[in-house]
Amino acid sequence: MPDLSRRQLLRSAGAAALAATAAASGAVSSAATAASSAASSAGSAVAAAARRTTLAGVIGKAAPGPGGYTTLVAGPGEKHVVRTDLGVKPKKGRVERRRGVLAFAQLSDIHVTDAQSPLRVEWVDRWDDEDAENGPTGLLSSSYRPHEMLAAHIADSMVREINAIGKGPVTGKPLALAVQTGDNSDNAQLNEIRWNIDVLDGGEVRIDSGDPEKWEGVADLEPGFYDIHYYHPDPLPEGVEPDRPRAKYGFPAFPGLLDAARRPFTAEGLKMPWISVFGNHDGLVQGNFPTAIEGLSAVATGSTKVISPPVEVSKGEVLLALATGRVTEVLQKVMSSPGARTVTPDPDRRLLTRGEVVAEHFTTKTWLKGHGFTQQNVADGTAYYTLDRGRIRFVGLDTVNLAGGSNGSIDRAQHAWLKSTLKQAKKDKKLVVVCSHHTSTSMDNDAGGDRVLGDELVETLLAHPNVVAWVNGHTHTNNVWARKKATGKGGFWEINTASHIDWPQQSRLIEIANNKDRTLSIFATMVDHGGPVAPDAAKLDDTHALASIGRELAANDWHERAVGRTGTRQDRNVELLIANPLRW
């Protein structure tokens, strides 16, 4: 069966109108005319939605220039690849029979970042450079990104693009909701959690902390604390040694970028309800360490920010501290060194508990209070829930292990709740879409003991045929896996979507369609945010413009250049076939 194209969509929409042709005289009745007009309008709307997705065009990297720096270019679109890994074959005529069930958007790993926070550990990033002592480990590079001050602007640009699309590009169903699959913030701070909620809700947002009059962080040109390991977007003073991103990797200047990133902007807000799940960066410091560790919250709200590590602190010492949980000791050591500067303290940088993060979602401008989280979650200190939309039951899991560690797992109480929830969904004749931050393959964290890991959770989901998809993030990479039963018949699709913070900065639109032949098709379509392909250094006055700069800088992050986070063609625009367990 050929892949579904926009031409086929229009042809299918036109067929509905032809069915209303008057049989006896060949004259078209007024009712048929209305049907034809409606079908044509629907077809046009679907085509318009598709034109704003990667079905029509994909943003890619141009040939590298000096230092390996690459600009971005618009390339051809990618049709949906039909995948039959679960043993369900496409049946003839399904395109004409198909009816949309539900369409929704997925946003993942936004990592809204307070890039001026004293609790940031940008200074360890250099130890993962390719010329670092003993070579890169891959463990430290996510501690700093040259564009992290633009994460909220990238999110707003993505929100605007999703709103403009508005419908599923295949079924034409209006987007019923958006699902945010964790790591919505970067460092479990109050201000980051609030910025994320406010960007998705809409209204005025200012991504700034500390001194309201100036930037205070590793990216500025503060005398005495200029460090060549960081990207400094403003023009360098005469006689100052160029930073490594410029000298070694070819980064351009973007004068005024830090001030532009701090300016208030009006976020558009999602024009649909949105729900969220808990990610490791939402509940753990730097995504790894419990917020309750003594002294960490005081560092976050305090006035000492480390810019450069002292020579007496080695990479090996830091790695040992990470492995043994002696984070506070190392922080105290580097905070008393000459490479630490005084910055403006800010109480809004305080660290939140899981319960406090959940509670913040009830302070919202939209009608969906809690954004999936419930008052029972607030009372119990949990972060898992269900939410129904039509024939679909969304099950939000909390896969964060608060004992520490970036990877996930769930506790036995949540596992028992999940099994009961899935059993009830079958009785209620609901299809189930599971949402979490972690993937099954990254749920290997047994810290604290007696945890349910990925393999066991997959078996639980496979035992319930009404589970059709598991949507998640964490890897910052596009992946789609078929999770099959041991018999080889039946299973579900695990849909893992790239991040906003790292290249390629994409989201997904997911549509569930009934093929009216005892099969379902799940369409997953990648979306690039609305920032221009080529950034304009002179235009820093809206979020699309800033997001454009953020995307190009992300594509050139020296630790990310060789990482294939876009996935394969089978991981991006896909039609995933699965048996319809409810047979309606």
Pairing of strands 491-496, 57-61: unpaired
4 pLDDT more than 80: no
- In whole angstroms, give the CA distance from residue 132 to residue 204: 42
- Sequence-ordered alpha helix ranges (H) in 81-150: 94-97
Instruction: Report pLDDT for 314.
Output: 86
* 87 φ, ψ (degrees, to nearest 5): 85, 5
User: Does residue 28 come out as left (phi exceeding 0), alpha (psi in the -120 to 50 range) or beta?
Assistant: beta
Tell me the per-residue pLDDT of 335-369, one tens digit each, with 9 for 90 and over: 999 999 999 999 999 999 999 999 999 999 999 99
Mean pLDDT of 302-308: 97
The per-residue DSSP string of 410-440 comes to EEHHHHHHHHHHHHHHHHTT-EEEEE-SS-G
Give yes or no for a contact between 487 and 452, defined as CB atoms under 8 angstroms apart: no
* Secondary element (H or E) of residue 283: helix 280-283
Res. 388: pLDDT tops 60: yes
pLDDT tens digits, 159-185: 999 999 999 999 999 999 999 999 999
d(C-alpha 162, C-alpha 52), whole Å: 9
Q: How far does Cα 578 stand from its chain's mean position?
A: 25
* Contact by Cβ (8 Å): 471, 435: yes
Report the run of H or E that residue 162 belongs to, with start and end.
helix 151-165
The tokens describing 205, both together, are: 């947002």
135 falls in which pLDDT band (50, 70, 90)?
low
Q: What 3-state class would DSSP assign to 465?
A: coil
Give the helix ranges, DSSP H, for 52-149.
94-97
pLDDT digits (tens, 9 = 90+) for 226-281: 999 999 999 999 999 999 999 999 999 999 999 999 999 999 999 999 999 999 99
Least confident of 15-24, 147-156, 317-326, 506-515: 15-24
Q: Which pTM was predicted?
A: 0.91
Nearest to 541 by CA among 264, 283, 281, 272: 264
What rounded mean pLDDT belongs to the chain?
91
Q: Which amino acid does the sequence have at 211?
A: D
Residue 15 has pLDDT above 50, yes or no: no
**Over 50: is that where the pLDDT of 23 sits?**
no
- Among the residue ranges 138-147, 185-194, 378-387, 550-559, the one predicted with the least confidence is 138-147
Amino acid, res. 306: V
Structure confidence at residue 5 as a pLDDT band (50, 70, 90): very low
Residue 30, pLDDT > 50, answer: no
Find the mean pLDDT for residues 391-412: 97
The domain defined by 96-579 carries CATH number 3.60.21.10? yes
d(CA 231, CA 115): 13
So what's the pLDDT on residue 134?
62
Among residues 454, 389, 456, the alpha carbon closest in space to that of 425 is found at 389
Residue 14 has pLDDT above 60, yes or no: no
For residue 489 the two structure tokens come to: 């018949």
CB atoms inside a 10 Å sphere around CB 89: 9
Give CA–CA dist 43/105, Å, rounded: 20
Render pLDDT for 446-456 as a digit per residue (tens, 0 to 9). 999 999 999 99
What percent of the chain is modeled with pLDDT above 70? 92
What distance in Å separates the CA atoms of residue 107 and residue 508, rounded to the nearest whole number?
7
Q: Residues of the chain with pLDDT > 90: what percent?
A: 82
Top pLDDT among 41 and 62 is at 62
For the beta carbon of residue 445, count every other beta carbon within 10 angstroms.
21
Domain boundaries, the chain: 96-579
Distance of CA 556 to the CA centre of its chain: 19
With 90 as the cut, is the pLDDT of residue 372 above it?
yes
Length of the chain: 584
Is there a contact between 43 and 15 (Cβ–Cβ < 8 Å)?
no
Give the C-alpha separation, 106 to 179, whole Å. Answer: 5
What's the pLDDT score for residue 42?
64
Do 307 and 229 touch, CB atoms closer than 8 A? no
- Mean pLDDT value of segment 47-60: 95
Residue 418 reports pLDDT greater than 60: yes
Spatial strand order in the sheet of 274-276: 81-83, 574-579, 519-528, 506-514, 99-107, 175-180, 274-276
Is the CB of residue 218 less than 8 Å from the CB of residue 234? no
**Tens digit of each residue's pLDDT (9 = 90 or more) over 492-537:** 999 999 999 999 999 999 999 999 999 999 999 999 999 999 999 9
pLDDT at 324: 80
